[in-house]
Amino acid sequence: MNNNLTKPNLDSLFDDFNHPNPNINKKAYLAMVKYWPKESMPRLLLNLDSGDMVLRRKSVLALGLHGISILDTLVDIAQTNKSTEFLVSCMKIFVQVAAIETDREFPDSAISLIEYSLWNESPQLILTVIPLLKLLGKQGIPLLLESCKDTNILRASAAITALGEIKGNFAKKALEDIFKDCNVDPLILSRVNDVLNRPQIRSGC
């Protein structure tokens, strides 16, 4: 059987990718990853700092399907492009990969880019990176704990919330230690207290 008879045209797939119907978009980028993974990737990467939010979102979804293999490419691009839009797109792809490939560790270079993005003051970046740290488990915990005492209230509050969602006594003990720290901002201590008083935290579940 000649596979060329069933292999869709890449330009046609990008036409569908730009269609206003999200179902048509999804079919298009699924086909790109299946039939044209190497050829479609450069064009999708160019969209990651586009001013078109919808285009960025679709490109993130498509590139996330490449899994752990996409991380090195994104890290390489970040050497010369550290725009907030690009970093947010990168971190959203990282979230997808972490959620799909739960048994794979991220390379050190990717962790370094996550750390760089974490300390950016963009609220959108903060609220993307903190959930990513939770997904990364043992690789993300040190940065999550560090964020809990940060002077940026949004970053600290998001980290405390994420820590409180981790099952087990480890999270409870970490929050209790923060609550005992007299040097922590009162607003952060209040947030810690709120999380500690959740039923699932009190029971240690």
**pLDDT tens across 137-157, in order?**
999 999 999 999 899 999 999
Does residue 5 register a pLDDT over 60? no
When comparing pLDDT for 15 and 198, which is higher? 15
Q: How far apart are CA 87 and CA 128, in angstroms?
A: 10
Query: pLDDT band for position 204 (50/70/90)?
Result: very low
C-alpha distance from residue 111 to each of 15, 74, 137, 205 (Å): 35, 12, 12, 29
- Does residue 157 contact residue 123 with C-beta atoms inside 8 Å? no
pLDDT at 167: 81
Does residue 172 register a pLDDT over 90? no
Query: Average pLDDT of 177-196?
Result: 88
Q: Of 92-106, 138-152, 165-179, where does mean pLDDT reach its minimum? A: 165-179
Query: pLDDT band for position 170 (50/70/90)?
Result: confident
Instruction: Give residue 53's identity as a one-letter amino acid code.
Output: M
Q: How far apart are CA 43 and CA 78, in angstroms?
A: 16
Does residue 135 register a pLDDT over 50? yes
For all residues of the chain together, what is the average pLDDT?
92
